[in-house]
Amino acid sequence: MNKDILIKFNNVTFAYTSYEDEEESVNTPVLTDFSLEIPRGQFIAVLGHNGSGKSTAAKMMNALLVPQSGSVTVDGIPTSDESRIIDIRRKVGMVFQNPDNQLVATIVEDDVAFGPENLGVPPEEIRVRVDNALKAVGMYEFKDREPHKLSGGQKQRVAIAGIITMQTDCIVMDEPTAMLDPRGRKEVMDTIKMLCDELGITVVLITHYMDEAVKADRVVVMNDGKICLDGAPREVFSNVELIKSLGLDVPQATELAYRLNKAGFDIDFNVLDEEECAGAIFSLLEVK
């Protein structure tokens, strides 16, 4: 193997069972024969409409759920091995959607220290880790504050700091910006970029925002428990029709160029942001 694979899904199948009454049960398949390899250090965005299986896949990455068939390994450890669950959780941390549901302490720095305390890290070491993590997410001056008085974006950054202190290899984030306003979203996205670029942490970001997905190294699009597109953002978002048919969006800039192209104008629609789109339109208008 030439790449260092951190998380590996191997033909994973998973279904939720609901019981209508005592006799009858209904199986709802969520993941079917799902395979995915996430190399160490990659920033990967996962897209898919609600119910496409992306949150289920995310929960498998740190053994909150285990596959019913197939396997998930984290740094080579199968998540089905209950004796190694602690090791897995030390390698992969999670941040959830609702900033109000994941802070446990009454003071910011206590909350950030919660993870390493549980891991039995010596107190002096915890102090250093907490300070560094809060500085990394830009929340150091808030260390004595009460978490419930922070904005949504600040709360999410505290939650991220709490995982940084555990020194995990990977952070999985399940729609961390869905409940935030534009300012909070930007704060969290800047923090995610910092995690990848400066700390070298592997990031799995589940999102409905296409402008966030374009910032990733790789975009995976899920539908009906399967992967239907997988590649660099530019490659993935060039499949405008397919993505739209899955109930998802492409960035506005891509869509505008694509529609002009479709209408018969000679424009390159392989653009991801406003600058590239304006450039493409400019050259379309220049030619003549």
Q: Where on the chain is the footprint of other proteins (CB under 8 A)?
A: 48-51, 97, 151-152, 175, 178-184, 208, 211, 247-249, 251-253, 255-256, 259-260, 263, 265, 273-275, 277-278, 281-282, 284-285, 288
**Least distance between other proteins and beta carbon 261 (Å):** 11
Judged by CB, which is closer to other proteins: 116, or 187?
187
CB of 114 to other proteins, least distance (A): 26
Least distance CB 57 / other proteins (angstroms):
16
Residue type, 155: K
Q: Which two tokens stand for residue 216?
A: 């990733």
At 279, list the tokens: 């450039």
Q: 39 or 51: whose CB is closer to other proteins?
A: 51
Q: Give residue for tokens 């910011």.
A: 108
Q: Residues with Cβ < 8 Å from 99, sequence gap 6 or more?
A: 152, 155, 156, 159, 179, 180
Nearer to other proteins, 202 or 207 (CB): 207
**How near is the Cβ of 28 to other proteins at its closest, in Å?**
11
3/148 with CB nearer other proteins: 148
Closest separation between CB of residue 73 and other proteins, Å?
29
Greatest pairwise CA separation for the chain in angstroms: 73
Q: Where are the beta strands (DSSP E) in the chain?
A: 5-19, 25-39, 43-47, 69-74, 77-78, 92-95, 170-174, 202-206, 218-223, 226-231
Beta carbon nearer to other proteins, 199 or 281? 281
CB of 263 to other proteins, least distance (A): 5
Nearest residue (CB) to other proteins, 117 versus 275: 275
Which of these, 262, 215, 199, 190, lies nearest to 44 by C-alpha position? 215
User: CB 71 → other proteins: shortest distance, Å?
Assistant: 29
Q: Which lies closer to other proteins via its Cβ, residue 111 or residue 249?
A: 249
In the complex, minimum distance from the CB of residue 259 to other proteins, in angstroms, rounded to a whole number? 5
| 273 phi/psi in degrees, rounded to 5 | -135, 180
63/248 with CB nearer other proteins: 248
Q: What angle do CA 235, 236, 241 make, to 5 degrees?
A: 115
> Is the Cβ–Cβ distance between 112 and 134 less than 8 Å?
yes
Provide DSSP, 64-113.
Answer: SS--SEEEEEETTEETT-GGGHHHHHHHEEEE-S-GGGS--SSSHHHHHH
The type of residue at 57 is A
Cα radius of gyration rounded to whole Å, the chain: 21
